[in-house]
Amino acid sequence: MCTVYYGPVINPQSVTDYLALPRCLICVSPQGNIEWIVEDVERTKLNDVLAQHDCASSDITLVYLEDGEFLMPGLVDTHTHACQVPNLGVGGEMELLQWLDNYTFPTEARFKDVEYAKRAYPDVVRRIVNSGTTTCCYYGSLHLEATKVLASLVHAAGQRAFVGKCNMNWNCPPNYIEPSVKESVDTTLALFSYIEELPKAACGEPLLHPILTPRFAISCTEELLTRLSEIAQKNPKLAIQTHISENKAEVELTKSLFKTNSYAEAYDKFHLLRDNTVLAHGVHLTEDEMVLIAKRGSGVAHCPTSNFYLSSGMARVGMLLDHGVKVGLGTDVAGGYSPSILTEIQHASIASKMLAIQAADKKCNCNRGHSESSSSGEEGSHSRGRRDHKHHSCQCDCECGEKQPGRFTNQKLSIAALLYLATLGGAGVCCLQDRIGSFEQKKAFDALLVSVREADTGNPAVWGYNPARDLTQGVTAQSADKSLTEWLERFLFCGDDRNIKKVIVQGRMIGGRDYHPLP
């Protein structure tokens, strides 16, 4: 039986555009795919539209969204460490390399005990799912059995995900290092086989995928990277995840160890940069590296919370976008101290504003006039619920020779851009943009049912839907559209798991406040 949802819908379209549809109708097949969408249906014409699609009321489950609720695509976390969740919020006074040695590696080493993994990982997966993450790129520890536990739990939860076991046989603590290249490769292949043998979803396709996970360049010998490269080249559809240019000391150490001019060059040397490679952080990438990454088609997981918390810096997301690099968001738990992509949205906004302020402070003082950029990204037309965000940047050549920014460089990220990074942008980084990230016919229905109803959610930060207090006039099409865009913004900046009623993957509810699994 199909399920048809009727009510407000937020649907991202691009970095600069999303649809706000107060009266949308979405039909989801029993397999969890979107059968059809009608963007604007008056309630009085609902039965007529259903009849046009051969949907009798007895043949469907019709879900009416309440006032103060809306649907949006599920959040995509392109980078997190499941084995670091027990370390949340600890060690922020240190920078990356010291933090790894003093906090992270000891935490991950505990997963040698499979019984501990069985106790810890259920809470990890449940917290991430209930935070609204419908698709997640997980790093496990270096332990095969513990990572199999993680994979089985993610699979049982019904989350769309990539799970990898860390490869790390160099520059690691004696009690947390793989003893040989052979063991690293063998256990990696064993994990791949385990994941691939798990049952497929009802839609006939797997939701869980293996991912090749060299932790970062300095943790892998050249021999190990060579072997991993061979695995990747034999399996062109196999995704790859690793870290890049997170911390200045890490960058310099990488270039020294691999005798390369850049961090990206070290990976490219082993053919590990390709269209299904997910590169976490990219804080200190040079423009030449951005060009190379874009040429290879790789994506960057922007992890602003972690980058602030460990004093790593601020990734130049606008410049990455201007160079054609795919960008999504990542929590990078436990460098990031929250399992929620909503926190990343908030900190991505702050980081972009700080970069814009810094750029304005450094603006050259030449005699030629420069038109002021519209950095807010909030200008533009508003038609049929569509918000078009037009960016205007200085295009003239400066006499002092300073290169002028492109469309997004040194601009603060708009609501449309933040929404895109958390959904469709992340889907692109994972090479899943044809299946998830937005609501389109034949795509999978991965969604959140969000509520900003104050009476239901109990979130004091959200000044949301409260008609007894706020409703002073009748609802018009224009006011409904304005309310929806405001609800979205309030959710992105003030919301949390209390505002997420349902987490839906492939049409099936797997988490959220309304989710009550059978004992």
List the pLDDT tens digit at each of the 519 positions of the chain.
Answer: 999 999 999 999 999 999 999 999 999 999 999 999 999 999 999 999 999 999 877 789 999 999 999 999 999 999 999 999 999 999 999 999 999 999 999 999 999 999 999 999 999 999 999 999 999 999 999 999 999 999 999 999 999 999 999 999 999 999 999 999 999 999 999 999 999 999 999 889 999 999 999 999 999 999 999 999 999 999 999 999 999 999 999 999 999 999 999 999 999 999 999 999 999 999 999 999 999 999 999 999 999 999 999 999 999 999 999 999 999 999 999 999 999 999 999 999 999 999 999 999 987 544 444 444 444 444 333 334 554 433 323 333 444 444 556 899 999 999 999 999 999 999 999 999 999 999 999 999 999 999 999 988 999 999 988 988 886 555 566 677 789 999 999 999 999 999 999 999 999 999 999 999 877
Q: Which two tokens stand for residue 306?
A: 């972690």
**Residue appearing with tokens 């037309």:** 381
Closest by CA to 108, choosing from 171, 154, 173, 162, is 173
CB 433 within 8 A of CB 27: no
DSSP secondary structure letters along 159-226: -EEEEEPPB--SSS-TTSS-S-HHHHHHHHHHHHHHHHTSPPPTTSS-SEEEEE-B--GGGS-HHHHH
Instruction: Output the CA torsion sign for 505, 146, 181, 242.
Output: positive
Q: Which two tokens stand for residue 142?
A: 């270096």
Phi/psi at 499 (5° precision)? -95, 0
DSSP secondary structure letters along 457-484: H--TT---B-HHHH--S---HHHHHHHH
CB 164 within 8 A of CB 138: yes
Alpha-carbon distance of 414 to 489, in angstroms, equals: 11
Instruction: Output the CA torsion sign for 450, 456, 459, 461.
Output: positive
The number of C-alpha atoms within 13 Å of 325 and in the hemisphere containing its C-beta is 34
Dihedral angle computed from the Cα positions of residues 74, 274, 81 and 174, in that order, rounded to the nearest 10 degrees: 170
Q: Which two tokens stand for residue 148?
A: 């199999």
DSSP state of 265: H
Single-letter amino acid code for the residue at 444: A
Residue 363: per-residue pLDDT? 75
Q: Which two tokens stand for residue 338?
A: 């929250």
- Give pTM, 2 decimals: 0.93
Strands 133-139 and 75-81, how do they pair? parallel
If DSSP codes are grouped into helix, strand and coil, which group holds residue 80? strand
Beta-strand ranges (E) seen in 333-414 are 382-383, 386-388
Strands 326-329 and 500-505, how do they pair? unpaired
Q: Is 505 left (phi over 0), alpha (psi -120 to 50) or beta?
A: beta
Phi/psi at 163 (5° precision)? -125, 130
Beta-strand ranges (E) seen in 275-412 are 277-281, 299-302, 326-329, 382-383, 386-388
Alpha-carbon distance of 454 to 464, in angstroms, equals: 6
Residue 474: per-residue pLDDT? 59
Alpha-carbon distance of 148 to 140, in angstroms, equals: 9
Residue 372: per-residue pLDDT? 41
Burial of 246 (0-12, 13-18, 19+ CB in 10 A): buried
- Cβ neighbour number for residue 21 with a 10 Å cutoff: 26
